[in-house]
Amino acid sequence: MYPFLEALVAALILIGAFFLLVGALGLARLPDMMRRLHGPTKATTLGIGALLIASMVYFAAVRGSFSIHELLITLFLFLTAPVSAHMLAKAHILRARAERDRLPATGTATGWATLDSGHPKGE
Amino acid sequence: MRARLLPHPLLTVLIASVFVLLMNEVTAGVVVLGLVLGLAIPLLTAPFWPGRPRLKAPLTIAAYALLVTWDIVVSNIEVAKLILFRRGETLRSRYVTVPLDLHTPEAIALLAGTITMTPGTVSADLSADGRALLVHCLDTGDPEATVAAIKTRYESRLKRIFE
Burial class (CB in 10 A: 0-12, 13-18, 19+), A117: exposed
- Higher model confidence: residue B25 or residue B69? B69
- How far is residue B155 from each of residues A36, B84, B131, B138, B158, measured CA to CA in Å? 26, 31, 13, 20, 5
Q: How confident is residue A11, by pLDDT bands cut at 50, 70 and 90?
A: very high
Contact status, residue A86 vs residue B123, Cβ threshold 8 Å: yes
pLDDT, position B50 = 67
Contacts for B149-154: CB closer than 8 Å, 24+ residues apart: B150/B98, B150/B111, B150/B115, B150/B121, B151/B98, B151/B101, B153/B67, B153/B71, B154/B68, B154/B111, B154/B114, B154/B115, B154/B118
Contact status, residue B101 vs residue B89, Cβ threshold 8 Å: no
pLDDT at B2 over 80: no
* CA angle at A35 for the pair A33 and A36, rounded to the nearest 5°: 60
CB contact under 8 A, B123 and A89: yes
B89 — contact with chain A (CB < 8 Å)? Answer: yes
Q: What is the mean pLDDT of residues B127-147?
A: 82
Tell me the nearest-neighbour CA distance from B82 into chain A, angstroms.
9
Q: What is the mean pLDDT of residues B93-111?
A: 84
CB contact under 8 A, A72 and B132: no
Q: What is the mean pLDDT of residues A21-29?
A: 84
pTM here is 0.80
- How far is residue B43 from each of residues A73, B2, B8, B48, B140, measured CA to CA in Å? 26, 12, 8, 10, 46
CB contact under 8 A, B112 and A86: yes
pLDDT in tens, B26-62: 788 888 888 888 888 888 887 777 666 677 777 788 8
pLDDT at B126 over 70: yes
Q: What is the mean pLDDT of residues B138-158?
A: 82
Contact status, residue B153 vs residue B106, Cβ threshold 8 Å: no
Nearest to B119 by CA among B90, B145, B88, B97: B145
On chain B, the residues whose CB falls within 8 A of the CB of A109 are 129
pLDDT in tens, A37-84: 887 777 777 888 889 889 888 888 887 777 778 888 888 888 888 888
B125 — contact with chain A (CB < 8 Å)? Answer: yes
pLDDT in tens, B67-91: 888 888 888 888 888 888 887 677 7
Closest residue in B to A92 (Cα) is: B124
Domain definitions of chain A by residue range? 3-99
The residues in A 33-92 lying below 8 A from B, measured between CB atoms, are 34-35, 37-39, 41-43, 45-47, 49, 67-69, 71-72, 78-79, 81-83, 85-86, 89-90
Q: Which helix (H) or strand (E) holds B35?
A: helix B28-45
- How far is residue B149 from each of residues B15, B125, B144, B146, B153, measured CA to CA in Å? 34, 19, 9, 5, 6
